[in-house]
Structure 1
Amino acid sequence: MTAAFRIALVLGPAGSAFATNFWTDGRYGATGGTILVLAMVVWTYGLIGLLDAIRPRAPRYAAVALPVFLYGAMGGAAFGFQGVFEDIFEQSTDTSLTALAEHPFAANLLLWLPGPVMPLSLLVLGVVLARTRLVPLWTAALLCAGAVAFPLSRIPRIDVIAYLADALLVVAFVAIVWRPITRATCLSQ
């Protein structure tokens, strides 16, 4: 995995964590939303590199995981854009949710379905990394814990759990890039 992919694997979740600092009543706002959108782009780039490194040990998983991660990251970006637009147009959460309810197809396809896909994808990634032994078990466990904590914080909008989820994900990805997965590592195990 190149240095650019490794850096992106840390900056993506770190950017997502930084965006959480801008929450106001569980909403990202214009600043947090912008940071979240950009973090999703960077994180996706890093995940592409990680999936490429995993491919020799789990080729079917890597093939399926990429489009799923892309859809999940799009959902994360959509929530970021929602925060930006709520702030720019001075819309309350209730007004925003009422407006979304008037467009159930778009809301479900762009927000409510892909929203849980990203943390679920991270959970599956943690399991795959543990099963293939590409990272230490504790690293995979941290990734899985962060993936589980993520929706537990975002759905009810609980700040303390959100910070914990973010920290777990950042530490997990730092640990993953600290011991880079290379093609030689994959083939020698």
Structure 2
Amino acid sequence: MESTLPISKTTGGLSLIAAPLVFATSTFFWKEGQYGVTGGTLINLSQVPWIISFIVLFDKLKMEVPRYATVGLIIAIYGCLSGANFGFVGVFGEAFQIPHKTYLETFLHYPLSANLLLFWPGPLFPLSLLVLGIVLIRRKKVDLWLGILLCLGAIAFPLSRIPRIESVAHAVDILLAIPLVIIGYKELVTSKLESLSL
């Protein structure tokens, strides 16, 4: 059945490519494990193609597992909200010279807001990618090796962001980018072939 998704395959393909690449670029601008102004800005901006990418990937599943496709997408977008907010923390931290320890201690005075905006949705981003990768494999919507790489990248993601070790972060960024860029490229090829057949 033809998708009713209001996003073209070209837009979806470009988003799947841009999301992990822009996100990976932000890691090169870390300053002593902190995102900083440039890194935080890139992380924040990368959430737009990330959200579009999630919409495209979940759309592949909506006919077979509609409930999961709907609920899973909402959870994934909430996870992206955390990424954007952590980006803002990086921008404000450097712009206003707020040490990492200081803002963490300040957040203790606002636990509900801090948890809703940062700490609770944070794990939902890699968890969404992991479960999505598993379901895409089970439903044979992506090549097995691409699904496995997506799952491995999702599992490794917290290992790169919690301790903030740059070399590990770069490796995880590459691991996560490979399957998404290839899936995005396939979306672009499909879009081109469909336009030629019209």
TM-score (norm. length: structure 1): 0.91
Distance 2:109 2:82 in 1: 19
Please list the CA deviations of residues 48-100 of structure 1 after superposition, one character each: whole Å capped at 9, or x if unmatched.
12222321232222111111011000001111000001011111111111111
SS class of match (1:115): coil
1:150 aligns with 2:157: yes
Is contact 1:16–1:36 with CA below 8 Å preserved after alignment?
yes
CA distance in 1, matches of 2:45, 2:150: 21
Query: Which is greater in Rg?
Result: 2
Note if 1:27 corresponds to 2:73. Answer: no
What stretches of structure 2 of length at least 5 have no aligned partner?
Answer: 1-7, 192-198
Return the offset for 1:23.
Answer: 0.7
1:60 is aligned to 2:67: yes
Instruction: Give the fraction of aligned pairs with identical amino acids, expressed as a percent.
Output: 45
User: Is residue 192 of structure 2 the alignment partner of residue 178 of structure 1?
Assistant: no
- The match for 2:114 among 82, 107, 110 is 107
Q: What secondary structure sits across from 1:54 in the alignment?
A: coil
Q: Once superposed, what is the RMSD of the aligned Cα atoms?
A: 1.5
Amino acid at match of 2:98: Q
3-state DSSP of counterpart to 1:81: helix
- Is the 1:78–1:110 Cα contact (8 Å) retained in structure 2? yes
Structure 2 residue matching 1:114: 3-state secondary structure: coil
Native 8 Å contact 2:134 2:151 kept in 1: yes
TM-score scaled by length of structure 2? 0.87
Is the Cα contact below 8 Å between 2:13 and 2:186 reproduced in 1?
A: no
Q: Which residue of 1 aligns with 2:144?
A: 137
**What is the number of residues matched between the two proteins?**
182
Q: Distance in 2 between matches of 1:5 and 1:75?
A: 22
Q: Any residues of structure 2 matched to 1:32-111 within 5 Å, and which?
A: 32-111=39-118
Q: What is the Cα deviation at residue 137 of structure 1?
A: 0.9
What secondary structure is seen at the aligned counterpart in 2 of 1:179?
helix
